[in-house]
Amino acid sequence: MRMTGWTFLKGLFLVGLVSTSLASGTQEESDGAPTYHLRTGERAAAPLQQQHDMILSDLEAILKECGLKEGMRVWDLGCGTGTLTRLLAEKVGPSGHVWALDFSKAQLDVARATLQEDGYTNVTFVQHDLTQPFAIKEDQKGDFLVSRFVLMHLEAPKEAVGLMRDYVKQGGACLLMEPDNSRNSLARPCEQAQSFRKTLLEVGEKAGLDYSLGARLACLCEGVWQVKSVREKCYQNNATGTQKLWRARLEEMEEKLLASGMATQGQIDGWRHMIDNLSSKEEGWYSSALLYYVHGVKE
C-alpha cells in the first residue's frame, strides 16, 4: 500500500484528466477499496463524468478504430461510477455484454443504480481487486477490455497489466487510457496558477499516484500485449472549464491542505482569488491535459 504514513490525505488532483477527491480511511476499508485514495460513490461521479465528456468524441472514434462493435463482450476494469461502462453498453448493444469491475462497493453501487435506472440490462457488475488473479470462467472471457485512469493508482501496474490478459480470449483486444499530468500546461502561466497546480500535484504524488504513467503505458504492455497503436492526445480546457474544475478542487482540498501544512490560509485565499478571476480570461484554451491511449491485442 503506497500511503503508509500519510493517511491524513486522501486526495488527488486532475487538471482535466484525473479527478480530485478526498476520502476517509475507514470508508475505504469498509468499501473494499483499501488502496484507493480518492473519493468514491456519489461524490466521485461528477468529476469522472466531466473528464469523460471532455474526451468523448475522441474516445468514440478510437474505440471504433480499435475494433469495438455491436455484439461484443467487453470488460471495463476499474469502472468507477460507470461513465465509460454506459458508453460501452450502448456500443455493444443488447446482443453484447459488459462486465463492469471495481473493488469499491460504493463505486459499483452508483454505477449499478444509474445504469439500471436507465434500463441497461446488458451489464454485470463485479467486485474484485485488479491486483489479484480473477478466476474467470471460459464463457466470461471478453473480446475487448478497457481500463481508464486505473493503473496510475496501482503500486505494481505492470503486474496488473499482465493479469488483465485473463479477461479476454486469444485475439481479444485492450484499450488502456492513462494521463501524463506532468506535461500539462497553462496558456497564461501566472504565478498563482502555477503554484496552485504544483501544490495539487504534490498532494497526489504524496498519496502515491503516478501522474506520468501514461507516457510509460506502452512500455508496461511490452511482452504482455501486442501493442497495435499508441495515441497521445492533448485536451484543452477553456478558462470557464478550468475555473469549474479548480474551484471544486480547492473546495475539496482546502481543509486538508491547511491541516497538513502544505498551504497557508494566505496561499489558499490567493488561489481562490485567481480562480474567481479566470472567467475574465475567456479567450481560447486556458489549461491542457495529456492522455495516452494504448491499443493492444492478446496474441
Ligand X SMILES: C[S@@+](CC[C@H](N)C(=O)[O-])C[C@H]1O[C@@H](n2cnc3c(N)ncnc32)[C@H](O)[C@@H]1O
User: Which stretches of the chain bind ligand X, using CB under 6 A?
Assistant: 19, 33, 35-36, 48, 52, 78-80, 83-84, 102-104, 107, 129-131, 148-150, 153-154
Dmax over Cα atoms in the chain, in whole Å? 59
First CA to last CA distance, the chain: 32
Residue nearest to ligand X (CB): 80
Q: Closer to ligand X at the Cβ: 83 or 237? A: 83
Q: Which three cell numbers stand for residue 110?
A: 452508483
Is there a contact between 237 and 285 (Cβ–Cβ < 8 Å)? yes
Give min distance, CB of 199 to ligand X, in A. 20
151 secondary structure, DSSP code: G
3-state SS, residue 257: helix
- Nearest approach in angstroms of CB 177 to ligand X is 7
Location of C-alpha cell 500519510? 6
Measured between alpha carbons, how far is 178 from 263 in angstroms, rounded to an integer?
28
Distance CA 225, CA 98 (A): 21
- CB closer to ligand X, 154 vs 203: 154
Buried b (16+ CB within 10 A) or exposed e, 34-52: eebbbbbbebbbebbbbbb
Compute the distance between CA of residue 13 and CA of residue 249 in angstroms, rounded to an integer.
7
CB closer to ligand X out of 53 and 255? 53
Pick 9 or 150: Cβ nearer ligand X: 150
- Compute the least distance from the CB of residue 164 to ligand X, in Å: 11
Question: Which CB atom, from 37 or from 298, has the smaller least distance to ligand X?
Answer: 37
- If the CB atoms of residues 28 and 143 are measured against ligand X, the closer one turns out to be 28
C-beta of 277: minimal distance to ligand X in Å? 29
- Compute the least distance from the CB of residue 117 to ligand X, in Å: 18
Q: How far is the CB of 163 from ligand X (least distance, A)?
A: 10
Do residues 14 and 51 make contact, with C-beta atoms less than 8 angstroms apart? yes
* Alpha helices by DSSP H, 142-190: 157-164
Cell of 231: 495515441
- Which of 49/195 has CB closer to ligand X? 49
Provide, rounded to whole angstroms, the least separation between the CB of residue 81 and ligand X: 7
